[in-house]
Structure 1
Amino acid sequence: MKRRINLLPFAIFTAFFIFFNAYVLSGLTTVISSKILITIFWIFVVTISISILYAIQRMRAKGTDLFFTIATHLFLIFFVAEVIFAVFLLFGDIYRLILSVFSNFQTEGFHWVARSEYWVDFALAIFGLTVILFIYGITKGKYAYRVIKHTLYFDDLPDAFDGFKLTQISDVHAGSFTNPKAVQKGIDLINEQKSDLFVFTGDLVNNAASEIVPYIGHFSQIKAPFGQFSILGNHDYGDYVKWPTEIDKIKNLQQLKTYHADLGFKLLLDEHVELTKNGQKIILAGVENWGIGFGERGDLKKALQNTLPNDFKILLSHDPSHWDAQVKEFPSKIQLTLAGHTHGMQFGIEAFGIKWSPVKYRYKHWAGLKSENNRYLNINRGFGFLGFSGRIGIWPEISVIELKRKLN
């Protein structure tokens, strides 16, 4: 017996999609009266819609390829720009509806106040600006590395580590890179910081260990006097692709661990190391990925086994939800946690006192520093990119944190 397919949701979505585009077109024809425009608009909408549907179907069978990337990005750029244009257009229509009601209050019948061509021109300018921003994000923004520096003060930091500096990056996603020269600029910027310690907080690849191979020569250049340390992120386990066998998946993870060593990174798997200086020490611990909805593999107790409550501790944990769930209330104080994972969704605004990204609706704190219970969390915005091959407003980050002893 064949399974019956419910076409109602598809029909509703199609009707809404047609209505939405018709509304956008009504705004365009306010300032550009042309039958050719109408024809070109609908041909473009239909073409890009068929392309994205075909790309998704193709991806399910063959994985992502250049066609999938082009189709999804064209659709994303056009659709987001349309939505922004439609929002501005709607504000203008609501305003003219109010004007129409008041102007016709004492007259018979109802007559619309005409749309303001100036307002539609403004909405169209915003449409164009959106397209330009997306093009910049795809071509330049994804490699526009930023160094973000923090100085943190602790009353329990060992004296020998006063002024100790560390550099953190996260979420490399090497399989997304297409420009080795641009990546090298990021590597050079990391080394320019001349930090005492370098840490990487997970997601070296998108899925397959082989993705990092073309960039081993780049990331192996990163050196720090106290070493280079790393952890795994949710993508590193290969959970998001179908493997021929479970053994292939296991081999992929083992190979990825080998590549960490080839990079010169000491991979911390629910374990810790002691960093010593002038007879004093701090603890650097790392856990396997622990994230709500992304696999709770990490074992914090195991990672801190044989450490003391009054030891100064830095924890590497890929997913910031771990900090809220376990770390900030952990009986043995962890002074600083370094995470990544969110990417700041690679889209948002951090300017003029505004800090916003759609990812805030999934993670309350999604980038930068947070402090609670005299413990700090730093969420790196990511070195690479995933899904959307670009960044807009949330630029790739190199975090530099200096530890200072608080004076009594």
Structure 2
Amino acid sequence: MKRLPLIILLWLGTDFYFYQVIQTLASSSPFLWLYWLIDLLLIGGVVTAFLLRRGSGLQQKLISWMMTLMLLSFVPRLFSLPILAIEDVTRLFRGFPPRALWVSEFALGTAAVLFLIVIFGITRGRHFYRVRRETIYFPDLPKAFEGFTITQITDVHSGSFNDAAGVQKGLDLVNEQDSDVILFTGDLVNNQASEMERWIPAFSGLKASMGKFSVLGNHDYGDYIQWETPEAKVANLNRLKEVHAEVGFRLLLDEAVTLKKDGQSITLLGVENWGKGGFHQYGDLDRATAGVPDDAFKVLMSHDPSHWEGVTLGHQHHIHLTLSGHTHGMQFGIELFGFKWSPIKYVYKQWAGLYRQKDRFLYVNRGFGFLGLKGRIGMWPEVAVLTLRHG
């Protein structure tokens, strides 16, 4: 709620600037009135969404639709503004003559292209799965695990799904990787375990030769909706833990398992959700590593990437590789030719891809599902395949 005035101010600021394009190209007053009417309706929808009962189904649906419609309107305008700004620099030295018609046409054309990109993101982007591969080298990797492969998925948010064929496309892509293990790093649901019921058969079809393992994410605890009783919330979490088992995932709750191969082993750790910025800090890495040998090769599943710098890097145990999710890459951004950007980078220092500090690594998965925004724009849903090598 505190950010609502800032959102509206940013919205209106781009509105007034882009309005100059409409004025230049459309002399008819009905078009000018329509321009503002659309924005007033959207802003009214946003305010209404914030005033509805927190966590209610109606509020969640309205917020999702408003986010989608606002991006559909805001992003095209935003990317056209630099064109207008460049013209304004030249107009400054020419006594601010009227805007050139061709510049406004170019700005409108740019906005139209971005409009189509956003349309693709909210219609097809939600299941436009991409496989991202990383090979990571460790000097102390047990030789038996040379070439060991991990397929990581995260942030399913099954409560947002409604396209069975689209979801199955992503699950088939996971199985096609034929990895040694499949690791799921949290947020199986949006709020309630019941959201996952219809998807249990599909997710049960995931296969990995050495097993499937999982941890909980911040949304899995049911902290974002109002429950009739505290007991109902506890029952929901217990049911979700059962769902993990029913789809074949071994849920790790601040614990460790040993994966053995040809007489050697690595340790897989899983902690409950731990995050900065107001998120609950349930996870206990000390408990998870209790009894684990100091010289064991360790892979940690921890939903929130802020746990890496907040706890993991300074921990007494050397954690070789941490796998996280949580950020979704904000489901909006740009990734081209090695360049990546998303507004989420101003919130999370590690927000997508592979990060390294000396001999410790963190991989942040962009997420399998979606939440809030009904799609993904430029930050496509991800199936990550990590290959461990000695070197």
Aligned-residue offset at 1:11: 10
Structure 1 distance, partners of 2:62, 2:84, is 32
Partner of 2:236: 252
Partner of 1:358: 343
Q: Are the structure 2 counterparts of residues 63 and 163 from structure 1 closer, same or farther at C-alpha, using a change threshold of 3 Å? A: same
1:131 aligns with 2:115: yes
8 Å contact from structure 1 (residues 328, 373) kept in 2: no
Once the two structures are superposed, residues 96-149 of structure 1 have per-residue CA deviations (whole angstroms, 9 ceiling, x without a partner) of 11332xxxxxxxxxxx32312222112111211222111111111111111111
Q: Secondary structure at the match of 1:99?
A: coil
Q: Are the structure 2 counterparts of residues 311 and 255 from structure 1 closer, same or farther at C-alpha, using a change threshold of 3 Å? A: same
Structure 1 distance, partners of 2:4, 2:129, is 41
Once the two structures are superposed, residues 251-282 of structure 1 have per-residue CA deviations (whole angstroms, 9 ceiling, x without a partner) of 11111000000110000000000111111111
1:42 aligns with 2:32: no
Matches within 5 A, 1:201-350: 201-293=185-277, 294-350=279-335
Partner of 2:23: 29
Structure 2 distance, partners of 1:10, 1:150, is 39
Q: 1:175 aligns with which of 136, 140, 159?
A: 159
Q: Secondary structure at the match of 1:264?
A: coil
Aligned-residue offset at 1:404: 1.2
Structure 2 distance, partners of 1:305, 1:68, is 43
Aligned-residue offset at 1:389: 1.1
Q: Are the structure 2 counterparts of residues 11 and 132 from structure 1 closer, same or farther at C-alpha, using a change threshold of 3 Å? A: closer
Greater Cα offset, 74-83 or 255-264? 74-83
Q: Are the structure 2 counterparts of residues 375 and 96 from structure 1 closer, same or farther at C-alpha, using a change threshold of 3 Å? A: same
Aligned-residue offset at 1:59: 5.8
Structure 2 distance, partners of 1:15, 1:345, is 21
Q: Are the structure 2 counterparts of residues 348 and 262 from structure 1 closer, same or farther at C-alpha, using a change threshold of 3 Å? A: same
Q: Secondary structure at the match of 1:284?
A: strand
1:53 aligns with 2:38: no
1:75 aligns with 2:60: no
Q: Name the amino acid aligned to 2:124.
A: K
Aligned positions, number: 387
Partner of 1:106: none
Unaligned runs of 5+ residues in structure 1 are 1-8, 101-111
Structure 2 distance, partners of 1:17, 1:139, is 23
Of structures 1 and 2, the one scoring higher in RCO (CA 8 A, sep 6+) is: 2
Once the two structures are superposed, residues 297-350 of structure 1 have per-residue CA deviations (whole angstroms, 9 ceiling, x without a partner) of 111011011111111111101111111112123222111111111111111111
Structure 1 distance, partners of 2:5, 2:150, is 55
Q: 2:356 aligns with which of 371, 375, 383?
A: 371
Structure 2 distance, partners of 1:21, 1:93, is 16
Q: Are the structure 2 counterparts of residues 79 and 59 from structure 1 closer, same or farther at C-alpha, using a change threshold of 3 Å? A: farther
Structure 1 distance, partners of 2:5, 2:355, is 45
Structure 2 distance, partners of 1:205, 1:64, is 17
Structure 2 distance, partners of 1:31, 1:328, is 56
Matches within 5 A, 1:119-198: 119-198=103-182
Q: Are the structure 2 counterparts of residues 379 and 22 from structure 1 closer, same or farther at C-alpha, using a change threshold of 3 Å? A: closer
Partner of 1:64: 59
Matches within 5 A, 1:389-400: 389-400=374-385
Q: Name the amino acid aligned to 1:232.
A: L
Q: Name the amino acid aligned to 2:86.
A: F
Unaligned runs of 5+ residues in structure 2 are none
Aligned-residue offset at 1:93: 2.0
Larger radius of gyration: 1
Once the two structures are superposed, residues 190-239 of structure 1 have per-residue CA deviations (whole angstroms, 9 ceiling, x without a partner) of 00010011100001111111111111111110111110000000111111
Aligned-residue offset at 1:16: 8.6
Q: Are the structure 2 counterparts of residues 355 and 71 from structure 1 closer, same or farther at C-alpha, using a change threshold of 3 Å? A: closer
8 Å contact from structure 2 (residues 63, 372) kept in 1: no
Aligned-residue offset at 1:86: 4.1
Give the alignment's Cα RMSD to 1 decimal. 2.3
Q: Name the amino acid aligned to 1:48.
A: L
8 Å contact from structure 1 (residues 59, 65) kept in 2: no
Greater Cα offset, 20-29 or 143-152? 20-29
Structure 1 distance, partners of 2:190, 2:4, is 31
Q: Secondary structure at the match of 2:319?
A: coil
1:93 aligns with 2:94: no
Q: Name the amino acid aligned to 1:226.
A: M
Structure 1 distance, partners of 2:243, 2:179, is 23
Structure 2 distance, partners of 1:225, 1:354, is 35
8 Å contact from structure 1 (residues 289, 298) kept in 2: yes
Q: Are the structure 2 counterparts of residues 322 and 19 from structure 1 closer, same or farther at C-alpha, using a change threshold of 3 Å? A: closer
